[in-house]
Amino acid sequence: MTGVITVSDEWIKTTDGNDIFTKTWKTQSTPVATVVMVHGFGEHIGRYDRLFSLFASQGIECYGYDQRGWGETGKKSTQFGNNQGYDTALKDIDDAILNKKRQDVPLFLVGHSMGGGLTLNYLARGDKYKGVALVTGAIASAPLVTLSMAIPMPKYYALRAVSFVLPSITIQAGIDPAGMSHDQDEIKKYLEDPLVHDFATLATLAGFIDAGSDIIKTKAKLIKTPILYSHADTDPINLYQSTLSAYNLTSSTDKEMKTWPGLFHELHNETMPQRQEVSDYYLDWIKKHIPAVKN
């Protein structure tokens, strides 16, 4: 299936009065499925144009938004790297799913890196968020469970302590762009993208660290949604072994761990032909979980 797609930008207002920038890759006819995307740390939804143009050409409508503190949303609010609390970030996912779910059209939740960690924590909270029950399947791409370069314990406790006293203090996370991809053109685009930054408030960083720990301790075993874990075993940003642990703990009877040997963090932006293999793998997994086209 191929078709003409259109991409539309829209600003929406959240229930708590914040402006959120959204982007939708629309199909020519009624979509066979909907994807809701949660992007990674420091980036924005526009960086998924190539992946979602492919999906939309296959009849899958894709929707994503720049999270609070990042992309156009962060630029407009000037609250760079401030997600206003982890629970707020989870509620934004729930609102997106509730707003985008169509009757009789399966919906898939996709999260990369920081967004992957959010996805896992969201799926584990089906008792709190109504949208979890509406998710047909999920893809967690290089999810943030544990950083590959672990924070030393003294520094971690210092970060936690300061985050309670001065939660709005903003620092740079110090992410090395070289670990994103083997494709130097992709790294160049990342470095030159005016909407990409690695600033975050101490409260936001502490929230992500704690949420990643929660995945292993308590949350992964609560995930019952069909799910594909996807991670490179040499990812220098997020630790592959922690994703493997989360996969093993996940309760879903329909789960898969896809390991990509030798690749870096942004699997969908790797060198060719690897990035095409990754995109096709995600597309095939989604199609297999659409009842109308299941083989």
Asked if residue 1 is part of any domain, the answer here is no
Residues 6+ away with beta carbon under 8 Å from 99: none
**What is the CB-side half-sphere exposure of residue 34 using CA atoms within 13 A?**
19
Asked if residue 135 is part of any domain, the answer here is yes
Asked if residue 174 is part of any domain, the answer here is yes
∠ Cα 140 145 159 (to 5°): 140
Residue tagged 């992964």 (tokens): 220
Residue tagged 């809701």 (tokens): 36
Asked if residue 282 is part of any domain, the answer here is yes
Asked if residue 12 is part of any domain, the answer here is yes
Q: Give backbone dihedrals phi and psi of 294, rounded to 5 degrees, phi first.
A: -65, 135
Q: What is the mean pLDDT of each run of 10 residues along the chain (295 residues)?
A: 82 95 94 97 97 96 97 94 94 97 96 98 97 98 89 54 61 86 97 94 88 95 98 97 98 98 98 97 97 56
Distance in angstroms (rounded) separating the CA atoms of residues 16 and 70: 18
CATH code, 229: 3.40.50.1820
Q: Give backbone dihedrals phi and psi of 24, rounded to 5 degrees, phi first.
A: -130, 130
Q: For 44, which DSSP code? A: -
Residue tagged 């990409």 (tokens): 196
Asked if residue 270 is part of any domain, the answer here is yes
Tokens representing 264 are: 């870096």
Q: Name the domain count of the chain.
A: 1
- Model's pTM, two decimal places? 0.93
∠ Cα 75 80 83 (to 5°): 110
**Which residues span the domain enclosing 212?**
6-293
pLDDT at 21 (0 to 100): 98
Asked if residues 25 and 55 have their Cβ atoms less than 8 Å apart, the reply is yes
Asked if residue 287 is part of any domain, the answer here is yes
